[in-house]
Amino acid sequence: MEQHCHKPRIFSGIQPTGNLHLGNYLGALTQWIENQYRYDSIFSIVDLHALASQDSHLAVPIVEKVRQTAALLIASGLDPERSALFVQSHISAHAELAWILNCLTPVGWLERMTQYKAKAAQVEAATAGLLDYPVLQAADILLYQTDRVPVGEDQKQHIELTVDLAQRFNRLFGAIFVVPKPLIRPSGARIMGLDDPSVKMSKSLAEKRKGHVIGLADPPDVIRGSILQAVTDSGSETRFEQASPGVKNLLTIFEALSGNPRPAVESRFEGKGYRYLKNEVANLVIAVLTPIRVRYLQLVNDTAYLDRVLGYGADKVRPVAVSTLEEVKRRIGIEAPCSG
Ligand code: TYM
């Protein structure tokens, strides 16, 4: 099996939701982009995971959203020459390894996942796919012998499950999998909804509530409108630890996007009022997202280019996935050992 002995490897995935949001950008994409030259980088648009959210494939076919997502990732700074970007369903090893890992996963581990519990509570009948979502995620990560997984804070528990599965497999069948670690940024790893700072910013709520998310391709006036309407409070506190959740969320967005140290952010807004804070946050978000939007609009209709990038990415990583899967099959005894 191919073991990478040069740069350490990062792998991460994102669901093809079309218009990604500021939470995806800060929690995940900034880390993908910053680390892509330092690590051997592999990123996947996880269309099989998207099937687990029941409403995700109704209005726009998933394949269209995959292209929109690829265009947004590239527009945000992902360099497809350096990082491999591919579509999960193009490499069947993901589904195959997921099945094998399923057979080692106690159902109780999956029923304990907070994301499963939250999502299952929102639907009439949770599917096996929803319960099994983290096992497919573990397969994604383990197929590529991943060292670090750059994600937002909400994915920490899924990475812990991946670690448990890798260790269980290695113990039972001999060391095969690299045991990965999460890569989570200290600030900005959990961006909350603008309309309700008690819940994380999420695509599913965006569809139901106006002003909940900031989409990466939103026009400037929409971004400003959502930020000016963000829930704050009637006070004037601008210190992170003392501020109400809505104000803290705005301060965090500013801190994470500006890269300024926390005390500098606090003193910048001290005594200025929330209207000023909101306008400054809006200015910064618009300044960061406008070039992304411009580039996105240039790319999104270039289907041939996007399909080429995704095809190239899949071709680049397929040998790694296939070789890991073959080794797994040999170890568990469903494929003959290599001769010679
Ligand atoms: P997805 O598409 O739901 O989220 C993609 C990434 O965005 C992060 N994120 C956030 N970060 C900060 N604040 C938020 N409000 C926020 N909302 C989302 C997520 O943490 C994630 O990093 N299950 C994964 C997809 C996946 C994956 C993988 C990730 C499938 N296989 C393998 C890593 C490795 C997910 O949450 O996608």
**Sorting pLDDT into bands at 50, 70 and 90, what band is 2?**
very low
Tokens of 177: 């999998």
Q: How far is the CA of 267 from the centre of ligand 1 (A)?
A: 32
134-150 residue pLDDT tens: 999 999 999 999 999 99
User: Catalytic residue at 119?
Assistant: yes
Q: Report the run of H or E that residue 215 belongs to, with start and end.
A: none
Q: Would you state the pLDDT for residue 206?
A: 81
Q: For 59, phi and psi rounded to 5 degrees?
A: -70, -55
Under 8 Å CB-to-CB from 263, ≥6 apart: which residues? none
pLDDT digit string, tens, across residues 255-310? 999 999 999 999 999 999 999 999 999 999 999 999 999 999 999 999 999 999 99
**In angstroms, rounded to a whole number, what is the distance separating the alpha carbons of residues 58 and 202?**
18
Q: What is the distance, to the nearest Å, from the Cα of residue 206 to the centroid of all Cα atoms in its chain?
A: 16
Interval between CA 146 and ligand 1 midpoint (Å): 16
Asked which of 30-44, 84-98, 207-221 is least confident by mean pLDDT, the reply is 207-221
57-97: pLDDT as tens digits: 456 789 999 999 999 999 999 999 999 999 999 999 999 99
Of these residues, 65, 156, 203, 248, which one is catalytic? 203
Say if residue 5's pLDDT is above 70.
Answer: no
Mean per-residue pLDDT, 119-123: 91
Q: 298-335 burial, b if ≥16 CB within 10 A, otherwise e?
A: ebbeeeeebeebbeebbeebbebbbbbbebbebbeeee
**Pocket lining: 140 vs ligand 1, CB cutoff 6 Å:** yes
| CATH fold of 203-297 | Tyrosyl-Transfer RNA Synthetase (1.10.240)
Q: pLDDT averaged over the chain?
A: 94
Q: Are 44 and 169 in contact (CB under 8 A)?
A: no
pLDDT score recorded for residue 59? 66
Taking the centre of ligand 1 as the mean of its atom positions, its distance from the CA of residue 23, in whole angstroms, is: 9
- pTM as predicted: 0.96
What is the distance in A from the centroid of ligand 1 to the CA of 271? Answer: 36
Three-state DSSP at 284 gives helix
Our answer on whether the CB atom of 23 is closer than 6 Å to any ligand 1 atom is yes
| 149 within ligand 1 shell (Cβ under 6 A) | yes
Nearest Cα to Cα of residue 115 among 101, 129, 131 = 131
Average pLDDT over residues 120-142: 96
Tell me the pLDDT band of 218, cut-offs 50, 70 and 90: very high
Are 252 and 187 spatial neighbours (Cβ–Cβ below 8 Å)?
yes
- Domain residue spans in the chain? 9-185+302-332, 203-297
**Which overall architecture, per CATH, does domain 9-185+302-332 show?**
3-Layer(aba) Sandwich (3.40)
Q: Whose CA is nearest to atom 33 of ligand 1?
A: 12
Mean pLDDT of 176-188: 97
Specify whether 200 is catalytic: yes
Catalytic annotation present for 156: no
Query: Is 24 near ligand 1, meaning CB less than 6 Å away?
Result: yes
Cα separation, 249 vs 306, whole angstroms: 34
